[in-house]
Amino acid sequence: MDSKSNVDSIALEENKTKVSFYGSDKTQLYTALASDIDSITFNFTAPVADMLDVQFGEDGSVTDVSPMHNPIETYATTDGENFSESTVPTNYNVEYGRYVATYANQMGSSKLGTNGVYSKMDFASNEEFMQKLKDGHTLETIIRVNEEVPDAESKWFSAHEAGGTGLMICKAKNSLNGQPEITFLPNVSADGTKSKWIWGVSGVTPEVGTFYDVVGVWNKEEGKADIYINGELMNSVDAAGELHLPNNEAARWFGIGCDAGPKGGQWGGNWDIVSVKVYDAPLSQYDVKMMYDNSQH
């Protein structure tokens, strides 16, 4: 017997007549004739969104059901300028078996537009939350765009203001295929002084009316930023250093339906959002793939 945590790979060998288990150091832990093995069962335990797990309610409420129970406020406007506390429009989605929020903001503009709405998860005074972001994190959302994306930055879950991290649509000039694309964008400093944006572009331009499961992973230990779409790794880019958060404490919050700004929501878009999650751990490719596959059953 051996612990599953010690098993790195399973190989079918010698013309498919033997099955062997190997550790991370390539040491053979176990081998047997393939004819003697009836089955191999993998028990996958899904990671817990331990920093943020948003649930939208029938009444338009936005609640964090993660262990951190972060307060979330929603603001709306009727004139595009003045915002007041409100709720977000929701509808029940049979496919996902839950309420989905609609943030019908202006696409690719610093202003959210008339009838704009956004939700705010403030972490400016939450040292634990900030430290967890800084030691490596994963952002996961399921979103649908409700109109054609312009060649402009549009954001549905981000804390970008001269720093931070988030998920967005990038401009064509920053993309892989010359079109606006789904992107994971952390801000990282390699030397502790200057920081830069790490463009985790996916090569995927979202189609109107199609849901996408989008995962961004910043792995501090490995110095990488990964972007996944529907469980598949689309791009992995170098991102060594320290996560640089916004210098302005008034912008240290996550915008849902938009980007965070010092005076309120900005650079939003017209989205339906199913879920928003933040994990302390930088999830592995196996975790992301299995989480997506399990969600489809």
So what's the pLDDT on residue 172? 97
- Read off φ and ψ for residue 104, nearest 5 degrees: -90, 70
Residue type, 50: D
- Indicate the helix (H) or strand (E) that contains 133: helix 127-134
- For 268, residues 6+ apart whose C-beta sits below 8 A from its C-beta are 103, 105, 106, 107, 109, 112, 116, 118, 154, 155, 156, 255, 257, 258, 259
Q: 93 exposed, middle or buried (CB, 10 Å; 0-12, 13-18, 19+)?
A: middle
Tokens 């996961």 sit at which residue? Answer: 140
So what's the pLDDT on residue 43? 75
So what's the pLDDT on residue 26? 86
Q: Name the token pair of 230.
A: 């529907």
Q: Name the token pair of 162.
A: 């001269």
Name all contacts of 167-172 with Cβ < 8 Å and 24+ positions apart: 167/139, 167/141, 167/214, 167/216, 168/259, 168/267, 169/108, 169/145, 169/206, 169/269, 170/199, 170/201
User: Which stretches of the chain drop beneath a pLDDT of 50?
Assistant: none
So what's the pLDDT on residue 156? 98
Distance CA 215, CA 217 (A): 7
Q: Decide if 214 contacts 228 (C-beta within 8 A).
A: yes
Whole-prediction pTM = 0.88
So what's the pLDDT on residue 235? 98
Q: Give the bridge partners for 140, in sequence order.
A: 215, 277
Residue pLDDT, tens place only, 113-157: 999 999 999 999 999 999 999 999 999 999 999 999 999 999 999
For 46, half-sphere exposure in the C-beta direction (CA atoms, 13 angstrom radius) is 11
So what's the pLDDT on residue 191? 87
